[in-house]
Amino acid sequence: MWHLVLEGINNFALKEAPEPTLQSPTDVIVKVSATTICGSDVHFVLGEIEETPWGFPLGHECVGTIHQLGPDVRGFKLGDRVAVSPGVWCNQCDACRGYKYQTCESFGIFGSGKNLGDLGGAQAEFVRVPCADNTLSLIPDGVSDAQALTVGDMLCTGWTGVERAAVGPGATLLVFGAGPVGLCALHSARLQGVAKVIAVDVISDRLEVAKAMGADHVINASLEDVAEVVLELTDGRGAEAIVDAAGVKSTFNAWAPVAALNARISMVAIPSGPVELPLAQLQMKGITVWTGLADPNRTRRDFLLQSIRDGTLEPSLIFTETISFKNIVTGLQEFIERKPGLIKPLIVF
Ligand code: NAD
Ligand code: ZN
């Protein structure tokens, strides 16, 4: 089979490899029908995430069909259409029972190197999925591959970001960054009781998509004074909840001026290096900052898939183009270089 391999900083290629095989009775082999590229892949490509030996397969977002099935997998059969979570957890150890998935003994993230579970990549023709009963979700009839592909990472990360900002009903949410993660955060906000959504970016066509996905107000940070507009929109209070899906120096400095007293900030973006936070300003406003990864809980993913089927969510607007898997190297280059108009590519086989 063919898969995308990261050989070193900015050095990636399609390589041939043996098809993965079942290694445990709870494994499944998925034949991938669609995959995509995440902002986090770019952090790996640019060498910005903790060091991991090079030469590992990339990609942690895919959907497909069940090609091989371990004897202890209960909830799936051969040929089922499935959405794969970016992260694996066993749902049996103490950590999982306490919802602390990242400390599960089986935890790993697909396509993220030796230090994060040494799993196969989702930018591949086939992928071995451990702990399949938790790592997979069935795709309901009527939900497309593109829609289902958003659920594991983009929608779960966006949803988790909004949830951890702990907005009570009626709150104003401000989202920095209208990339795929920020768009999915603001798209899921109404379902979580948010009254008003403000999106901030520096790229105007992304802000147009933000409007189409549910933002009430958009602010272009390269043209407008963000704090001034936010205070105007909130009668001088500021936003009670903030999701940072941009994670750049200018957004860290923008947090305190736009935040309401006792606001909560979800830092879902992965910064590209050490950051300086204006801590005193955040302290004076009693602000709480949460960081972490998307919650990979299967119940959450199943709920999001149902919400798509019901028409409550339509996340596939984040895909601005469709490319063939054989062109993934060019697709990744264009993604890294931020080709104008490209938000996220749908990669099909
Ligand atoms: P992206 O790069 O497409 O989105 C970032 C957006 O921030 C861009 O649209 C960019 O124009 C915007 N931006 C840049 N400067 C800005 C500024 N000053 N003000 C406002 N916006 C600004 O990336 P993405 O795929 O949406 O991912 C966002 C981040 O989330 C990445 O760091 C990614 O690694 C991370 N991520 C985290 C998790 C998790 O589990 N925590 C999961 C997936 C992705
Ligand atoms: Zn990701």
Domains of the chain: 2-138+314-348 (3.90.180.10), 154-291 (3.40.50.720)
How far apart (Å, rounded) are the C-alpha atoms in residues 69 and 244? 39
Contact residues of ligand 1, CB 6 A cut-off: 38-40, 43, 153, 157, 176-182, 200-203, 206, 221, 245-248, 250-251, 268-270, 293-294
H-state helical runs in 175-235:
180-189, 204-212, 226-233
Q: Please report, in tens digits, the pLDDT of each residue of the chain (349 residues total).
A: 999 999 999 999 999 999 999 999 999 999 999 999 999 999 999 998 866 789 999 999 999 999 999 999 999 999 999 999 999 988 888 888 887 877 888 889 999 999 899 999 999 999 999 999 999 999 999 999 999 999 999 999 999 999 999 777 889 999 999 999 999 999 999 999 999 999 999 999 999 999 999 999 999 999 999 999 999 999 999 999 999 999 999 999 999 999 999 999 999 999 888 889 999 999 999 999 999 888 778 999 999 999 999 999 999 999 999 999 999 999 999 999 999 999 999 999 9
Let me know if 232 is exposed, middle or buried by CB neighbors in 10 A (0-12, 13-18, 19+).
exposed
Residues with CB under 5 A from ligand 2 (ion): 38, 40, 153
Please tell me whether the overall predicted TM-score, pTM, comes out greater than 0.90 for this model. Answer: yes
* Ligand 1 atom nearest 268 alpha carbon: 41
Q: Measured in angstroms, how far is the CA atom of residue 259 from the centroid of ligand 1?
A: 19
